Amino acid sequence: MDEFDQSLKAFIEAAGWLAPFLFILLHLFRPLFFLPVIVVCIAGGVLFGFVEGALLSFIGLSLMSFVSYVLVNKFPRFREKVGKLKEKIFKNQTLTVGQVMILRIMPFVHFHLLSLYLMESAKSFKEYMYYSLLGLILPAVIYTAFGEAITAFPWYLTVLMMFILVIIFSLIGKFNQSPVRRA
C-alpha cells in the first residue's frame, strides 16, 4: 500500500499544475471505473491534503451532479435504468431532501440514484443544483478528512456508525413532512 501511495504522490508531483484538473476528471470518470466516492475522496486527502482535497472533491462531485442531471434528462434509457434501480431498492418509499442528504454521507449508496431523487424533488435545475451542492459538502469534507480513519475502523465501529446514520435518516423522515415529489 505504501508503494501505491508513493507512486500516486509521484504521479501528482509530475503532473504539476494539471494534477487538480486530473483529480476532478477522476471524479467525473469514477463511475466508469466502479470506484466508490469514498475511495476518490480519500485519495484527494492523501494527495492534496485536507483543505485542497476536500475542495477538489466538492468541485468534482458538483460536476458529477451536473452530469447526472444531463444524463437523466437527455438520455431516457439512463433515466429508465436509474428509475428501475430506485424502485428495486426503495420500492414506493418517499424520501425527504434531508434523508437524501444523509444517504449521500453513507458509503456505497448509488450517486445517480440519489441525484434522481433530488431531481424529482426540485422544481428547477437551479433548485436541484442547490440541494445537490448542499448535500455534497459533508461527504467531501468527511471522506477527505476521516476517510482513512473510517476505513481503518474495526467492523463493529463501522456497523455502529452505519446504525447511527440509519437512525438519523429515520428521524429526519419522521420529523420532516416535505416528501420528495414523484415525477
The pLDDT score that the predictor gives to residue 126 is: 95
pLDDT tens-place string over residues 114-125 = 888 888 888 999
Query: Which residue would you say has higher pLDDT here, 1 or 164?
Result: 164
Average pLDDT, the chain: 82
The pLDDT score that the predictor gives to residue 182 is: 45
The pLDDT score that the predictor gives to residue 57 is: 93
Nearest to 128 by CA among 40, 54, 67: 67
Spatial distance between the Cα atoms of 116 and 137, rounded to a whole number of angstroms: 18
Residues in a beta bridge with 179 = 96
Q: Taking the CB of residue 139, how many other CB atoms lie within 10 A of it?
A: 24
The pLDDT score that the predictor gives to residue 88 is: 84
The pLDDT score that the predictor gives to residue 176 is: 62
Determine contact, residues 25/15, Cβ cutoff 8 Å: no
Q: What is the mean pLDDT of residues 61-78?
A: 91
Helix (H, G, I), strand (E, B) or coil at 181: coil
Determine contact, residues 8/17, Cβ cutoff 8 Å: no
pLDDT band with cut points at 50, 70 and 90 for residue 175 = low
The pLDDT score that the predictor gives to residue 127 is: 93
Q: Taking the CB of residue 86, how many other CB atoms lie within 10 A of it?
A: 20
